[in-house]
Structure 1
């Protein structure tokens, strides 16, 4: 039927978009092309003035034979490549035949709503012709949306399928969190669970294939709505171009070797770096790190580092004959001795490494470098309120460099703790397996409740090494979370002492083995304390560094170079020196673009590694992870299991609480499972009440690993994407012994 007021969907291809609207025009084309589109008809803009409309609609509804109908807007300006109008018009679902006329009138009325007028006005558009699409309602058991390019990364090779039970309207409107599948190379994998399981892998791939066929037809990324009925048939409900799609994100390997996101300074950077950090403080920290190496080892051997899509990655130096010659020439015997004991011997004989070099380096840090660092921070804190821009920049240069020296000592001295712990674990499994079973925490029980290692709340504690983020002293909401883990610490200290006594009794008839154990235990416990103390003092300068940066931002805002003080973090270091001569309007525009880009980048799930380890060296971290798992255990991926690094032994079950912002800290309840991208010292108060901890990044030496072990709670780190695969409220079991997180239905 084509009366001018009512047009059958199969006949709408010859009528034109201006009459039937964008949604109906596309579905008409796809229906004619053989896609499974629910049958229907279009009520055009001429309908409201036609007295015979009700009869025609009743006639068409009877012909279609559907007991219920979906009634949706179909405007000419809808579903365009540069303007979707998504969610602005009315939709009526599950409408009985005798209610069709009323539902159609309600959809027409929505064209004049204030929200549509505001959207049109903000885009500079004019009023557009309006039609209403009526289709047989699919009795859906599952429905959702498929994007044929990743909405966050822009990757055209990936198709993202989201699904929910029943009708998909709640998912499309954002009222529900759906299950998410990622299809790459015609293989769908579950990337995020919803409240209940919706699709099988085969169904998810069938949806992805459907969406890709639509994208091929229209030669561009598509946003496709779909539904599966009770007979298992897949239906195409809507297709439109993806709008505001970012340029494709490439994770090209920056150079030879294995590049790691969560190693060394990367453990302190859970998000992409802001431009001012990337061009100023980050290079200072890296340079200071080499200053510390030069002062202790006598040679500078730079770790390679770079930012990929804003995310920090670093890689060890590429082994070569030239590098060896330089170490021998510049560092001579001292370099060889220190590097051998700090990097190799510490994992074989910690006590020998301590005697040879580590103890002296620890004294050097405590007696010389740490006091110097504290003095510099104290003097700068007194000076920065009255300092001019030039002096503020000098303070940043000085403190940033010394913070880098602190990072070096944390790496070379405090970083020995996890290698020593691995050695202690091997000893316990070999000689004390019955006394310290892995199921009860293994050797980790011997490193808990140590005096001097108890996590503390420091005013200079950070959420991230990027100075854009506030320090603990700026976050009054954190004080609302309990800072006391004294009861737990006391209980752990008692348990540790009892375990030490059991070990001594078990080895009493083997005096040489007992002496070996006691020596290994004492040195490992000492460096566990050292690591915690060095990690806490690394960020002493951050309150002053942030104040200096924001003072510079205040200066730029006063001269009109930027709009707000914190815009300074989206400037580059050279721009701070040239603001007097630059085009302020251009800088303001650049800052806005960079902030928008950073917001996109921080939503990306960045890979933990890029590239491959050198063949002769291999992946040192992965080898360490495998050694940390008890013999005979395996950790296999699956739709119900997330696999990471076994960071703190034990097992606990509880509800997930995803924390991405310090403002969410007060919502964290006792017994919750803390799930975060990464944690830094400012997160410590949450550990006192957490049942377990799970992070996207991190290694066995990361903050989350060490503090979780100190509090005696299970932890799994280095999962890669736990924050996107889980959602708050889900019940999970965290097994920190084998490194798995099991999701319960």
Structure 2
């Protein structure tokens, strides 16, 4: 076991003995990068002296070994840096968590610095940082390098840390040692280098300059002036940075120094919390698709989502539907992963095939054969329901592992027939809607189109009506004020969950968020909102009667024909909504099987909690062998992905402005897509998730980042709805039109611009939100 070895003895795979910093520096040395000479006091040395969380006296042999290595470096000033085994990793940079000592001179000073680095593993801040990331097993090495007395030093990012642009390289620089830049003591010179070598420069202020002093340690100077780096040095740094990023296969955060006309690389680690790259200009189809995807992805998918419900659920289903009519890749590859974690959303560009030419004929043929009003009579639908109910009745907890591990695939296989049903019945839906739209536009009544669809009775409206009845029962029995609630209310709630409990609380394309049945508190929150007081009776506009008053529709046959067309369009809307309702029925079966697998892995000590199974892919679960090595492998995979996910917690999957470009609209606070007509004024109430449903009062303007069927009962109390995401065809827009309240979708920024209590006017006809007097 090596106690001390030169940097060149290590590479990227030597994390366990050299720590993150030592392993990365060794990899750079091996690949010919200009790294100052140095050595590593390995984790074996730390293990030799560590007793619990303290360090004992250093054994003589170790002292001699360290000092011999120091002498081989020349015995002059050195930098001594901690190198923990869990640092400089994707998702766990550990920046500033362990100690660094600069300009260390002399034997005893070096040994003392090594001891202090060891001890820094157990400072309160380092322990708290590891606890937040769920990191338990950690050791520490120490890197000792020849000190570079820099003329200028700083940090280089091989991707733009603000915009996420991977084609730009950013350099921060200031006079003296780079510690002033790293610790934020100065406003550095700022260089942005583009892919063609163009440089954008912003001068810094050099408030403080840190330099080494004779005999060891550093000093701080003020009032020092300096010049910008020569263009040649900026170019050399940029070239080195891109080579380092290529070597490690990911954007890098690099510390560097320029001294005596030479560039030195002092450290390299993966960039953390890097936003997704800019998506550039999206075409109209991508923007339209983006409005749907952003609404469906209010949370970052887990690896288990990526390997189960995303490819097989609604997104995968729509991919099959569009593919059946000659449009490939319309719902594929829109999520980008790094280190097994989703980091970016990019609306795909579909690829037309020769099948597009035949699509009109296929659509017409299917529209004639398959009537959306009768889709529930299709034998395939009844077979699907029977299969779902059989699998839902299985006792997952009683299954042995070999049987249980097959359930997720069985649940995913259930949904295949729904894709066939949609392929067959959506053409009739589309043509019925198109026929009605053309008719009302030709009659000059195009603004009535949305209102004409109000009469569609869907499972969503039925669920909302059932919730209203539960709220009335809760008021009558006092169920919300007693624990446990009255038996009558509890029985009614259980009956409701049996019928509607498979509805999603967060997203229809993710399996990881709980369903209504998994999280009944979401339903109780809705009941509480609806039971808080009498429901506001909103006037509904009978668009059909207004349409039939048209002079050209006074003849009975024309009136009857137009009524049939409206009825057909409503049936199409009902098919779209209801097929989605039934399509999500396998969702709780899939989720419960995965959580049960997680529970068993938790019992084996593989996972800290059953839900940590979401950090794994389905194929990784299926290949699991109950051996010590496999248990450790899964533990490490979960830890690394959890850390990466934590790192990305503050970054968005996509810049909303790319999908919802801001538009000028006079004095509007926010703008978006008109989704439900009318004008209403009320105080803003920002609701960010189901846990905040209870905040909404009657007459509030509901402002939210997304919606799904779980939100729609709130529309009974809201004066208007303003949503960051979504479009005129989303669930929120449809239900807003049902309740006759204005809705503005796709604002992109409403939840960040509008504040609780602010009085605003929402215009659902123009898609604007303005301040109210």
Shorter-normalised TM-score: what interval? 0.5 to 0.7
Q: Is structure 2 residue 331 aligned with structure 1 residue 318? A: no
User: Structure 1 residues 391, 299: closer, same or farther in 2, change over 3 A?
Assistant: farther
Equivalent of 1:247 in 259, 267, 274: 274
2:596 alignment partner in structure 1 = 551
User: Structure 1 residues 730, 513: closer, same or farther in 2, change over 3 A?
Assistant: same
Equivalent of 1:533 in 578, 582, 591: 578
Equivalent of 1:469 in 497, 513, 533: 513
1:460 alignment partner in structure 2 = 502
**What is the distance in 2 between the residues matched to 1:700 and 1:607?**
21
Q: Is structure 2 residue 486 aligned with structure 1 residue 447? A: no
2:721 alignment partner in structure 1 = 693
2:63 alignment partner in structure 1 = none
Equivalent of 1:369 in 380, 383, 390: 380
Contact 2:677–2:765 (Cα < 8 Å) also in 1: yes
Deviations 1:436-489 (A, max 9, x none): 8x5xxx333333254446251521110213111011121324323248699979
Contact 1:258–1:610 (Cα < 8 Å) also in 2: no
User: Structure 1 residues 420, 678: closer, same or farther in 2, change over 3 A?
Assistant: farther
**What is the distance in 2 between the residues matched to 1:316 and 1:366?**
36
Q: CA deviation at 1:640?
A: 4.1
**What is the distance in 2 between the residues matched to 1:487 and 1:388?**
51
Give the superposed CA RMSD. 5.1
**What is the distance in 2 between the residues matched to 1:693 and 1:415?**
31
Q: Is structure 2 residue 759 aligned with structure 1 residue 731? A: yes
Contact 2:668–2:768 (Cα < 8 Å) also in 1: no
**What is the distance in 1 between the residues matched to 2:423 and 2:311?**
17
User: Structure 1 residues 489, 522: closer, same or farther in 2, change over 3 A?
Assistant: farther
**What is the distance in 2 between the residues matched to 1:445 and 1:675?**
23
**What is the distance in 2 between the residues matched to 1:455 and 1:608?**
36
User: Structure 1 residues 705, 600: closer, same or farther in 2, change over 3 A?
Assistant: farther
TM normalised by structure 1 equals 0.56
2:390 alignment partner in structure 1 = 379
Equivalent of 1:570 in 604, 609, 615: 615
Give 1:134-145 correspondences, 5 Å limit: none
Deviations 1:175-218 (A, max 9, x none): xxxxxxxxx99xxxxxxxxxxxxxxxxxxxxxx97889999989
- Any unmatched runs of 5+ in structure 2? 1-92, 99-121, 131-139, 141-158, 171-190, 193-200, 209-226, 238-251, 254-269, 465-499
Give 1:207-246 correspondences, 5 Å limit: 246=273
Contact 2:302–2:615 (Cα < 8 Å) also in 1: yes
Q: Is structure 2 residue 336 aligned with structure 1 residue 303? A: no
**What is the distance in 2 between the residues matched to 1:292 and 1:539?**
16
Number of matched residues? 500
Q: What secondary structure sits across from 1:471 in the alignment?
A: coil
Deviations 1:106-147 (A, max 9, x none): xxxxxxxxxx9843775799xxxxxxxxxxxxxxxxxxxxxx
**What is the distance in 1 between the residues matched to 2:635 and 2:624?**
11
**What is the distance in 2 between the residues matched to 1:213 and 1:422?**
65
Q: What secondary structure sits across from 2:579 in the alignment?
A: helix
1:702 alignment partner in structure 2 = 730
**What is the distance in 1 between the residues matched to 2:616 and 2:632?**
13
Give 1:593-612 correspondences, 5 Å limit: 593-599=640-646, 601=648, 603-607=650-654
Q: CA deviation at 1:559?
A: 1.8
Contact 1:263–1:699 (Cα < 8 Å) also in 2: yes
Q: CA deviation at 1:372?
A: 2.3
User: Structure 1 residues 569, 642: closer, same or farther in 2, change over 3 A?
Assistant: same
Give 1:631-650 correspondences, 5 Å limit: 636=664, 640-650=668-678
Contact 1:257–1:315 (Cα < 8 Å) also in 2: no
Q: CA deviation at 1:568?
A: 0.5
Q: What secondary structure sits across from 1:456 in the alignment?
A: helix
Contact 2:432–2:569 (Cα < 8 Å) also in 1: yes
Give 1:653-664 correspondences, 5 Å limit: 653-664=681-692
**What is the distance in 1 between the residues matched to 2:385 and 2:736?**
28
**What is the distance in 1 between the residues matched to 2:420 and 2:649?**
27
2:27 alignment partner in structure 1 = none
1:27 alignment partner in structure 2 = none
Q: Bigger CA drift: 582-591 or 692-701?
A: 582-591
2:305 alignment partner in structure 1 = 277
**What is the distance in 1 between the residues matched to 2:292 and 2:427?**
9
1:678 alignment partner in structure 2 = 706
**What is the distance in 2 between the residues matched to 1:302 and 1:365?**
29
User: Structure 1 residues 529, 257: closer, same or farther in 2, change over 3 A?
Assistant: closer
**What is the distance in 1 between the residues matched to 2:317 and 2:541?**
38
Contact 1:460–1:471 (Cα < 8 Å) also in 2: yes
TM normalised by structure 2 equals 0.54
Give 1:702-721 correspondences, 5 Å limit: 702-721=730-749
